Amino acid sequence: MNDDADQILKALRDAGENGLLIGELVDRLGIDSQEIAKTINTLMSEGLIMQKQELEEERYMIKTPVTDDAEPGALSDMNGCPCFHCLKIGRCGIRQPDSPVTCSELEEWLGAGLGRAVS
């Protein structure tokens, strides 16, 4: 890894779950924005960081590593997911007429799942 990548990873680690915008990385590190964008693309392709879309902004953060003690997921964990039978799925997404962020059915299903997990 190069020095820019190490600096970006450190800055993202320090930012925690809030992540940073490219402009914030430029301000903190003093690296050219095009060089940061290129390095970020490399880090994302290597699976080290991820992008989080927030309205019109794209934040970048460290990808949480999968640990050996994590419970493996299963397809059965998705039972009842309203997305599987939704008629609006073709136009659902960020900046689309319908979005998982505003879907009350998905919110109810997720809330019910969290209730079961806590019990």
Domain spans of the chain?
A: 3-62, 75-118
32-46 per-position pLDDT tens digit: 889 988 998 888 888
The secondary structure of 44-73 as a DSSP string is HHTTSEEEEEETTEEEEEEPPPPPTTSPPP
**Total-model pTM:** 0.51
pLDDT at 119 over 50: no
Displacement of CA 28 from its chain's centroid (Å) = 22
Q: Which CATH code for domain 3-62? A: 1.10.10.10
pLDDT at 7 over 50: yes
Q: At what angle do helices 33-45 and 22-29 cross, to 10 degrees?
A: 120
pLDDT of residue 115: 52
More confident residue, 21 or 57: 21
